[in-house]
Amino acid sequence: MARLLAVDDERDIVELIARFGEHEGHTVDTALTGTEALRLCRRNDYACIILDIMMPEMDGFTLCKRIREEKTTPIILLSALGAEYDKLMGFELGVDDYVVKPFSPRELMARVKAILARERGRGPADALTFQGVRIDPLAREVFVDGERAELTAKEYDLLLYLVRNRGIALTRENILNAVWGYDYVGDGRVVDWQIKLLRGKLGQYRRCVVTLRGTGYRLDEKA
């Protein structure tokens, strides 16, 4: 169904991911170092990359940054670290999801499936605007007062969802299900982190993303 890349310095981990991925009908390439993974990424086009943070030669953060310089392939970070800093750093680098070890291989495959479904669902659409912000769904680009904003894939998806549901109070659960594509298993604050990052890209229009205390968020063009 899709070609995946699993990157981890623990052979047992990549073999486990490969086994479950192949059971789902995917082709899974594996790499034990960041250097090897980068070489594979340059040689092949992957539908999704699953990579560990703590690796020899090149850590996951550095590898993610290098990949993002060349490709927009969806990335899922794997790590035994659960610190907020690691998640925030990953999202700033443009990862699509974050899974903490030990993880359920079936849950991981469900997340891969959701990402693949989301990618297939993307297609041409008319431009969307609010105040000085313009979204071009065809090119997946965002312009703030005429200047192109550098949004990660997840920030873009989040903004698009907010704009398409402008004026509606959206709970964190609404956002998780719509943007992440499944019932997120883990810390619901992932939405708050992404909102914070997104606001930082919207300049003076950050005020339009209104926090609803105890509920979630709403895009309010009059804010």
Statement to judge: residues 88 and 21 lie in one domain: yes
In the chain, the amino acid numbered 61 is F
Mean pLDDT confidence for 5-11: 95
Statement to judge: residues 147 and 108 lie in one domain: no
Mean pLDDT confidence for 13-28: 95
Convert the pLDDT of each residue in 150-160 to its tens digit: 998 889 989 99
Q: Please give the structure tokens belonging to residue 90.
A: 């990953």
| Exposure string for 188-222, b = 16+ CB within 10 A, e = fewer | eebbebbbebbbebbeebeebbeeeeeebbbbeee
Query: The domain containing residue 157 runs over which residues?
Result: 128-219
Q: Please give the structure tokens belonging to residue 157.
A: 């998806």
Three-state DSSP state, 6: strand
Convert the pLDDT of each residue in 99-149 to its tens digit: 888 888 998 998 898 888 877 655 545 678 889 999 988 778 899 999 999
Higher pLDDT, 1 or 199: 199
| CA distances in angstroms from 70 to 43, 113, 170, 181, 206, listed in the order given | 12, 23, 34, 25, 29
Is pLDDT of 161 > 60?
yes
Exposed / middle / buried, residue 57 (Cβ in 10 Å: 0-12, 13-18, 19+): middle
Convert the pLDDT of each residue in 173-220 to its tens digit: 888 878 876 555 556 678 898 999 999 999 999 999 999 998 899 999
Statement to judge: residues 10 and 110 lie in one domain: yes
CATH number (domain holding residue 160): 1.10.10.10
Please tell me the distance from the alpha carbon of residue 101 to that of residue 52, in angstroms, as a whole number. Answer: 10
Tally of structural domains, the chain: 2
Domain boundary, last residue among 75, 99, 121: 121
Statement to judge: residues 21 and 78 lie in one domain: yes
Domain boundary, last residue among 62, 95, 121: 121
Is pLDDT of 66 > 50?
yes
